[in-house]
Copies of this chain bind each other. A is one copy, B any other.
């Protein structure tokens, strides 16, 4: 509640010990995974004793739940705000997120592949936001509540999350320091270029052939429903 983890620089010392432990846990979980992170490692990173970590959170599972709740709340804030001004569908949204709250996103990336319930919640919110964006922008193609909108939004959420979860590999290919700011906008621009090109591909005859072969796979008899 009272951590400025999401806002750029943090004093690191004026935080309550409990908040410092939670922040350290977020980083350790993100870096080594839930199993890989240790209570003692978290305590050391937070500059407190092992006993204090237990005193405030009880168990390792409870600590994870606290981290999950914190991340869910932080992203809910962020997502509702971006959904309000309609920037959620923009390709730069994810890159921007990574800039302002790196540790949070790295934790979320881990949680997404460990499929913790918190990650599912955030992903669902992301997909819901994407669905709203698609339905508002193209009401004809993605009617609100349609499965077309729902499925396209899910894919959009997965693909855009991919640029976050795989941010390390992306950075290696871009040849810049993954922690360096002012470089994440290049990812957003590359996404726009890619979308522009692949948009043509998706409406080409080649793509149409792919769609048909996919239909044939879904329905081998080729009969109309």
Give A residues with C-beta under 8 Å from B. Answer: 32-36, 89-92, 109-110, 112-115, 119-120, 123-124, 127, 134, 137-138, 141-142, 148, 150-163, 165-170, 172-174, 182, 185-203, 206-207, 210-211, 214, 217-218
Contacts and interface: CB of A to CB of B under 8 A. Distances in A.
Contact of A166 (B34, B161, B182, B203): B161
Nearest to A188: B214
B199 A196 contact: yes
B199 A200 contact: yes
A186 to B, nearest CB: 7
B218 A185 contact: yes
Contact of A154 (B114, B190, B207): B190
Contact of A192 (B35, B174, B188, B202): B202
A120 B170 CA distance: 10
B189 A196 contact: no
